[in-house]
Amino acid sequence: MSERGTIALMPTCLVDLVRPEAGVSAVRVLRRAGYHVTFPEGQTCCGQPAWNSGFPDDARRVAETTLAALAASEGPIVVLSGSCAATMLHAWPELFAGDPRLAGVLDRIVEFGAFLAPLANTAPTVGARRPVAFHCSCHQRRGLRDTTSGTTLISSLPNVELVEQDDAEACCGFGGTFAIKFPGISTAMGRDKVDAVHEAGAGELVSGDLGCLMHLAGVAEETDVELATTTLPELLDREGWAP
Amino acid sequence: MIDEFIAAVVADGGQAARVSDINAARTHVAGILGRDATLCFWNGDPLVLALDPASLGRVVAPVEAFAGITGAACAVAATGTVVLTYGEGRSRATGLLPDLHLALLTADQVLPTLGEAIARVYAGEVPRAMTLVTGASATSDIEKIRVTGAHGPRRVAVVVIG
Amino acid sequence: MSIVYGGDKALGARIDKALADTRLGVTLQASRRHLIGFRGAVEERHPDWPERVDRARAIRSDAVARAPELLDRFEQQVTSRGGRVIRAATAGDAVQAVIEIARRRGAKIIAKGKSMVSEEIELNPALEAAGLTPVETDLGEWIIQLAGERPSHILAPMIHRSRGQVAEVLATHRGGPMSDDPQALVTYSREQLRTTFLEAGIGITGANFMIAESGTVIVLENEGNGRLVSSLPACHVVLAGMERVLETTADAAFMVEQLSLAAVGRELPSYVSWLSGPAADGDDGPEEFVVIVLDNGRSRIRASDEREILNCIRCGACQTVCPVYSKVGGHAYGSVYGGPIGAVLTPLLTGMQDDEGRKLPFLSSLCGACADACPVGIPLHDLLVRDRGLANRAGLASRGERAAWGAWSRAWASPRLYRASARAGARSGPFARAFGPGASWLEGRATLPLPSAKPFHRRWRDLESGG
| C219 contacts: CB under 8 Å, gap ≥ 6 | C113, C205, C206, C207, C208, C226, C227, C230, C271, C272, C273, C275
What is the crossing angle of helices C22-45 and C11-20, to 10°?
90
Q: Is the pLDDT of residue C7 over 60?
A: no
Asked whether the domain spanning A119-238 has the same topology as the one spanning A5-116, the reply is yes
Task: Return residues 109-138 of B near C (CB < 8 Å).
Answer: 114-115, 118-119, 122, 126-138
> For residues B114 and B135, what is the distance between their CA atoms, to the nearest angstrom?
15
In a domain, C389, yes or no: no
Residue A173 phi/psi, 5-degree rounding, is: 100, 0
Mean pLDDT computed over C112-129: 96
User: Tell me, what's the pLDDT at A122?
Assistant: 77
Confidence band for C9, pLDDT divided at 50, 70 and 90:
low
Choose the closest CB to A183 out of C25, C362, C440: C440
Residue C197 lies in a domain: yes
C65, C66, C67, C68 alpha-carbon torsion, rounded to 10° = 120
pLDDT, position C1: 42
C445–A215 CB contact, under 8 Å: yes
CB pair distance less than 8 Å for B129 and C228: no
Using a CB–CB cutoff of 8 Å, tell me whether A105 touches chain C: no
pLDDT of residue C6: 61
Q: Please report, as a single letter, which amino acid is at residue B113.
A: T
Selecting from C140, C256, C285 the residue whose C-beta is nearest the C-beta of B86 gives C285
Q: Are strands A130-135 and A204-207 parallel, antiparallel or unpaired?
A: parallel
Q: Considering only alpha carbons, which residue of chain B is nearest residue C232? A: B93
Q: Kindly give the interhelix angle for C249-264 and C49-65, rounded to the nearest 10 degrees.
A: 130
A5-116 is a CATH 3.40.50 domain: yes
pLDDT in tens, B88-137: 999 999 999 999 999 999 999 999 999 999 999 999 899 999 999 999 99
Domain boundary among C274, C296, C318: C296
Q: What is the DSSP letter of A19?
A: -
Q: Say if B90 is an interface residue toward chain C (CB within 8 Å).
A: yes
Contact C449 A18 (CB under 8 A): yes
Contacts of A54 in chain C (CB under 8 A): 361-362, 385, 387-392, 397
Cα separation, A41 vs C461, whole angstroms: 11
- Mark which of C276, C296, C316 sits at the end of a domain: C296
C258 within 8 A of C247, measured Cβ to Cβ: no
C-alpha distances out from residue A2 to A5, A31, A76, A121, Å: 6, 7, 14, 20
| Fold (topology level) of B2-161 | Rossmann fold (3.40.50)
pLDDT score of C389 more than 50: yes
Between C63 and C161, name the one with better pLDDT: C63
Mean pLDDT of C192-216: 97
Contact C412 A15 (CB under 8 A): no
Q: What percent of chain C has pLDDT over 90?
A: 88
The amino acid present at C207, given as its one-letter code, is A
A168 touches chain C (CB under 8 A): no
| DSSP alpha helix (H) spans, B18-144 | 22-33, 46-51, 114-121
Asked if C139 and C282 sit in the same domain, the reply is yes
Dump pLDDT digits (tens) for B77-96. Answer: 999 999 999 999 999 999 99
Q: Does domain A119-238 have CATH number 3.30.750?
A: no
**Are B39 and B67 within 8 A, CB to CB?**
yes
Task: Report how far residue C367's alpha carbon sits from residue A212's, in angstroms, rounded to the nearest whole number.
Answer: 12
* pLDDT tens digits, one per residue of C287-331: 999 999 999 999 999 999 999 999 999 999 999 999 999 999 999
Strand partners of residue B110: B75
The confidence score (pLDDT) of residue C424 equals 86
Domain boundaries, chain A: 5-116, 119-238
- Pairwise CA distance, residues C188 & C431, whole Å: 61
Section C81-88 average pLDDT: 98
Rounded Cα–Cα distance for residues C173 and C190 (Å): 14
Arithmetic mean of pLDDT over chain C: 94
pLDDT in tens, chain A (243 residues): 568 999 999 999 999 999 999 999 999 999 999 999 999 999 999 999 999 999 999 999 999 999 999 999 999 999 999 999 999 999 999 999 999 999 999 999 999 999 999 999 877 767 778 999 999 999 999 999 999 999 999 999 999 999 999 999 999 999 999 999 999 999 999 999 999 999 999 999 999 999 999 999 999 999 999 999 999 999 999 999 999
Q: Does C164 touch chain B (CB under 8 A)?
A: no
Cβ distance B108 to B80 under 8 Å? no
CATH code (residue C228): 3.40.50.10420
A126 and C CB contact within 8 Å: no
Q: Is-contact C346 C416, C-beta < 8 A?
A: no
pLDDT of residue C295: 98
Looking at the fold, whether C281 and C427 belong to one and the same domain comes out as no
* Residue C9 placed within a domain: no
| Virtual torsion, Cα B109, B112, B118, B120, nearest 10 deg | -50
Phi, psi angles (nearest 5°) of residue C237: -110, 130
Tell me how many domains chain C contains: 2
Q: Provide the CB-side half-sphere exposure for A19 (13 A, CA).
A: 24
pLDDT at B90: 97
**Average pLDDT score over residue span B28-40:** 95
C3 pLDDT more than 90? no
Partners of residue C372 in chain A, C-beta under 8 Å: 142
Q: Is the ipTM of this complex over 0.85?
A: yes
C283 and B86 in contact by Cβ < 8 A? yes
How big is the B-C interface in CB pairs under 8 Å? 177
Domain of C443, in residue numbers: 416-464
